[in-house]
Amino acid sequence: MDSIATTAAAAFESQSAGVAARRQEFGLTERRAALARLAAAIRHNEAPLVTALAADFGKPEAEVILTELLPVMQEIRHASRHLRRWMRPRRVAPTLATLGTSARIRPEPRGVCLIIAPWNYPFSLALGPLVSALAAGNSAIIKPSEMTPATSALIAKLVQETFPPSLVTVIEGGVDASQALLELPFDHIFFTGSPAVGKVVMAAASRTLASVTLELGGKSPTIIGPDADLENAAKWIVFGKFANAGQTCIAPDHVFVHRAVKDGFLAVLRNRIAKAYGTAGTSPHLARIVNDRHAQRLSDLLQDAVGKGAQVTMDSPSQGRDLGPTLIEALTPEMDISSEEIFGPILPIIAYDNIDEVIDQINARPKPLALYVFAKARPQIDRIIAATSSGSVGVNLTVAQFTHTGLPFGGVNTSGIGAAHGEYGFRAFSHERAVLTNHFSALPLVFPPYTARVKRLIGLIKRFLG
């Protein structure tokens, strides 16, 4: 075995050895204490976190606090407050066939879990799932993204100073580390990343039949109806699209705007962009593209679209990995940008006349992670929601659905399997074990031998229940 495989196997063995003991000893008090330790460590590391994310991709401090630190702290607080209720076995009423028994559902830890994180929110998407894993009583190995090395090193240090490796440990590295870990028989794999790698993870999980949560991506459409509040739409779209320089899984990927309000919307959108980021292209309020490869990918996407007839209607001076907000129009299906997840600060604007065209276009593509609707007429909003599918929906806002700890966060098919956050995250990392206890069940009356009397009884039951 090479060294990364040996390290991965040793980390896994150390956690596996404690599974049976953890089932009995890692109760409500211990889990809450673990979460409190994590919260204290995060508070203590706020300044290094801001520095690490600035080094990795120029993420503004305000965005680090809003989108990396606060989501994890919020998850910790919510889990600590509700954990007692989540952990409590739930009673289930008996059915006619099981009269004389009592039924309960016991949420139990899955065991040893693997968390593979992406680079775009490298801190919150590694430690957010850890909160759920610990709340549910598991141990976890975290594999942060290699593309944000400063944040990866910080996560490793923070975890090492906070938890014994038999409970939580970090294995740093790239695809080789990820693949070495995927060889091991984890009880649950929680993966956040691209749909392409999601398939690799699911294939690996099929070898051991590990359960999976896949938090994937895709092209999240945004629809602006003829009656939308355009100022409000521009405000939310600019934040949702350009925060993190567009490198957000639930960012509006492209905008369908009703032709009657297109010019008005473009005018307020341009104003809003100028107000938020200025007109110099680079801005201290705008993160950078994560690396040269992704900057090149975005430039290629734009060149391909322009070469095939797209018009750039708002361009910002860009420099290396500093890409400014860019608006493009006149898209056609042949352009790569029409099918690839953009994941950068380029926003296609597509005019429509009839909402049915938009619904058809959305339904012709893989189910997106998020769908946004800006409109006032409730029937119109409801119709769009009912006619389409997506992981989540934002009405008259963008991305804020991620911050609601009471809502499941996840995709559907290509955009993901399973859900995260709050109780949904706790459940993702729990096995719901059914326990049925006999008190005075009458079922033995129909056990063999199947005499005439038993058969008559079965006939009676069939008439009653069938």
**Which residues are marked as active site?**
215, 249
Amino acid at 73: M
Q: Which of 145, 392, 401, 405 binds ligand NAD (CB under 6 A)?
A: 145
With vertex at residue 13, the alpha carbon angle to CA 11 and CA 18, rounded to the nearest 5 degrees, is 105
Distance CA 204, CA 217 (A): 19
Q: Which stretch binds ligand NAD (CB under 6 A): 172-180, 229-237, 281-289, 299-307?
A: 172-180
Closest CA to 353 of 449, 441, 275, 262: 262
- Strand ranges, E, within 4-89: none
DSSP string, 317-369: --BTTB---EEEE---TTSGGGTS---SSEEEEEEES-HHHHHHHHHTSPPPS
Using CB under 6 A as the binding rule, whether residue 421 contacts ligand NAD is answered as no
Using CB under 6 A as the binding rule, whether residue 118 contacts ligand NAD is answered as yes
Q: Which of 46, 61, 108, 146 binds ligand NAD (CB under 6 A)?
A: 146
Site track 10-39 with ligand NAD (rule: CB under 6 A), x = hit:
------------------------------
Sheet strands side by side (includes 90-92): 90-92, 101-109, 430-438
Q: Which of residues 224-253 bind ligand NAD (CB under 6 A)?
A: 249
Amino acid at 288: R
Q: Which of 120, 132, 222, 283 binds ligand NAD (CB under 6 A)?
A: 120
Q: Which of 72, 87, 112, 116 binds ligand NAD (CB under 6 A)?
A: 116
Say how many residues touch ligand NAD, by CB under 6 A. Answer: 28
Site track 356-375 with ligand NAD (rule: CB under 6 A), x = hit:
-------------x------
DSSP H helices, 183-253, are 195-208, 230-242
**Which residue do the tokens 């503004």 mark?**
60
Using CB under 6 A as the binding rule, whether residue 197 contacts ligand NAD is answered as yes
Contacts of 15 (CB under 8 A, 6+ apart): 112, 139, 140, 141, 165, 166, 167, 169
Q: Closest approach of Cβ 203 to ligand NAD, in Å?
A: 10
Residue 412 near residue 69, CB atoms below 8 Å:
no
Q: Closest approach of Cβ 277 to ligand NAD, in Å?
A: 22
User: Cβ closer to ligand NAD: 194 or 380?
Assistant: 194
Q: Which of 153, 156, 200, 393 binds ligand NAD (CB under 6 A)?
A: 200
User: Cβ closer to ligand NAD: 116 or 159?
Assistant: 116
Distance CA 418, CA 88 (A): 22
User: Cβ closer to ligand NAD: 117 or 349?
Assistant: 117
Instruction: Please report, as ranges, the residues that interact with ligand NAD according to CB under 6 A.
Output: 116-121, 125, 143, 145-146, 174-175, 178-179, 192-194, 197, 200, 215-217, 249, 341, 343, 369, 411, 416
